[in-house]
Amino acid sequence: MTTAIIITVCVLVLLAYVFDVTSSKTKVPSVILLLLMGWLVKQIALTIDLSIPNLSSILPILGTIGLILIVLEGSLELELNASKFPLIRKSFGVALIPMLLLAFGVAGAMYYWQGGSFKDCLTNVVPLCVISSAIAIPSVKNLPGYQKEFIIYESSLSDILGVVFFNFVALNDTFGFNSVWHFFAQLFTIVLVSFLATGGLSYLLSKIDHHIKFAPIILLVILIYNISKIYHLPSLVFILIFGLFLGNLDEMKQFKWIQRLKPDLLDREVKKFKEITIEATFVIRVLFFLLFGYLMETSEILNTDTLIWAIGIVINIFCLRAILLKFYKMDLSPLLFIAPRGLITILLFLSIPASQTIPLVNKSLIIQIIILSALVMMVGLMMENKKERPVT
As a whole number of angstroms, the distance between CA 298 and CA 43 comes to 9
pLDDT at 96: 95
Q: How confident is the model at residue 1 (pLDDT cuts 50, 70, 90)?
A: low
pLDDT at 211: 82
As a whole number of angstroms, the distance between CA 110 and CA 105 comes to 9
- What is the average pLDDT across 137-148? 83
Region of residue 161 (phi > 0: left; psi between -120 and 50: alpha; otherwise: beta): alpha
- Check: CB of residue 147 under 8 Å from CB of residue 335: yes
Question: If DSSP codes are grouped into helix, strand and coil, which group holds residue 57?
Answer: coil
Span between the terminal Cα atoms of the chain, in Å: 54
Domains contained in the chain, CATH given? 2-386 (1.20.1530.20)
As a whole number of angstroms, the distance between CA 42 and CA 38 comes to 6
For the ranges 19-33, 174-188, 315-329, the maximum mean pLDDT occurs at: 315-329
Identity of residue 73: E
Q: Could you give the dihedral angle defined by the CA atoms of residues 199, 205, 208 and 210, in that order, rounded to the nearest 10 degrees?
A: 150
| pTM score of the predicted model | 0.86
Q: What sections of the chain are H helices per DSSP?
A: 2-26, 30-47, 58-76, 85-114, 118-125, 133-139, 145-171, 177-207, 214-230, 236-247, 256-259, 263-295, 298-301, 304-327, 343-350, 363-386
- On the question of pLDDT at 360 being above 80, the answer is yes
- What is the average pLDDT across 323-332? 92
As a whole number of angstroms, the distance between CA 42 and CA 298 comes to 10
As a whole number of angstroms, the distance between CA 283 and CA 292 comes to 14
pLDDT at 392: 42
Pick the closest to residue 317 from 136, 141, 183 (CA basis).
136
For the ranges 165-179, 283-297, 378-392, the maximum mean pLDDT occurs at: 283-297
Q: What pLDDT, in 10s, does the model give residues 212-271?
A: 888 899 999 999 999 998 888 888 889 988 988 888 877 776 677 677 777 777 888 888
pLDDT at 249: 79
pLDDT at 391: 45
As a whole number of angstroms, the distance between CA 212 and CA 230 comes to 29
pLDDT at 385: 67
Pick the closest to residue 99 from 165, 15, 189, 35 (CA basis).
165
As a whole number of angstroms, the distance between CA 198 and CA 189 comes to 14
- Check: CB of residue 80 under 8 Å from CB of residue 248: yes
- On the question of pLDDT at 322 being above 60, the answer is yes
Mean pLDDT for all residues in the chain: 87
Q: How confident is the model at residue 118 (pLDDT cuts 50, 70, 90)?
A: very high
DSSP 390: P
As a whole number of angstroms, the distance between CA 133 and CA 28 comes to 16
